[in-house]
Structure 1
């Protein structure tokens, strides 16, 4: 096993599954902390603020801080600011929960505009309504750019898989004929910004996660080695059918030696 100088680590399905703790994932993070190996939690979950993620991790036995949390909301804000370097105010329409809403509206560069937004930004919303979807579709047809925070089709819960943001975005895509620009895993923006944040080169870093379609493809598509842990979405039988394989596959993160 190669020694890596930093780890990008998924949360849902790797460290916890809904309200259930994945003990091997917690022990893995504690081993990183003991050895002072840099890490960044790279989650596609946009329902929580970084502060809320820190609190949730504490409930699962991990002490960390917001400097170790990176979400598609943070990456999307950076991406949109890069696209609008000379624009002081950016009108957006938001579908999502507290993490997305607070993340954008607490930043003075962005303001909510349901009538004429420049961007429609869609994140996971368990209170999604037809009215929200209709407003988003209308804006996109009128020229707004469609941004999807992440493409996860399903989310691992305690004993089931729930519809994910990718499923929500697909509905809007079908209704408008417009594909979203995705920011979160496996898309490149979140990986590029995460590497800048930890100041590491691609060959120094490994991506850890449970979902082949998001976590592992994020690594593969962006030149990172990958560790698939079989504690969440993807199972071994499914993964073995894929043409491209993870760099490493482990039953759980107890099997990974630092």
Structure 2
């Protein structure tokens, strides 16, 4: 565990790692307190692009965690950073919530909401307001050759009580079935979200550990991008999944509570 004691920043997945639904995972507050006591930092990193930073600050505060907006980084923000490098002020057809729309508008993008308009990118976020009409228009643009970006690849949004809420990955599969096309994906486990974090927070890869409950996003983020990877068994992954995975974490803990002594 000595290697982990040398880390200066912990990237913390939220759903399944810090909380499940509206329930704080035991030990989360103690871990965060210990990180700050050691003069280290953490960033709450989530693939959930349905909410903005303010919403996460509010949710964490309700759970008893005081967080600042600069301590939260979403796949939605990473996508705006990536697209602004490609074309500032681009015209975007966005499948996203009102919160994600506001984030894109704040970043300088022009949101197109009708068909048969000039569009630079189609962006698929975790859209809990998704309608058939929005999906149909997106598929038309994608089929016509408009570049297609997704905020993240997760298939299911983790919730308490084992509820099965379709996430972006499920909609990616639907769009592929309709258009035959797949998106460039910005969020975990892809390099674009890591590059955005390194740039914004002035960090080096060797200073960072990625902590999360999902093998194919959180753990793969570490493995594919040169970060230490830490799996917590408090969310999606069970023992059978861990035994059969190709994405073998560097470290495994029952929950973040068990990490307090290794910071």
Per-residue deviation at 1:236? 2.2
How far, CA to CA, are the matches of 1:214 and 1:99 in structure 2?
Answer: 23
Q: Deviations over 1:219-247 (max 9, x none)?
A: 11111111100000111221121234100
Alignment of 1:44-123 (within 5 A): 44-84=47-87, 89-115=89-115, 116=117, 117-123=119-125
Unmatched runs of 5 consecutive residues or more in structure 2: none
Structure-1 residue corresponding to 2:227: 224
Alignment of 1:1-258 (within 5 A): 1=1, 2=3, 3=5, 4-84=7-87, 89-115=89-115, 116=117, 117-160=119-162, 161-256=164-259, 257-258=262-263
Q: Deviations over 1:112-149 (max 9, x none)?
A: 25333211111112232211110000011122111111
Per-residue deviation at 1:109? 3.6
Per-residue deviation at 1:7? 0.8
Compute the TM-score of the two structures, normalised by the length of structure 2. 0.92
Root mean square deviation of aligned Cα: 1.4
Q: Does 117-126 or 9-18 show the bigger shift? A: 117-126
How far, CA to CA, are the matches of 1:194 and 1:107 in structure 2?
Answer: 16
Per-residue deviation at 1:35? 2.2
- Is 2:45–2:73's contact at 8 Å kept on the other side of the alignment? yes
Compute the TM-score of the two structures, normalised by the length of structure 1. 0.94
The structure 1 segments of at least 4 consecutive aligned residues displaced by more than 4 Å after TM superposition are none
How far, CA to CA, are the matches of 1:212 and 1:29 in structure 2?
Answer: 22
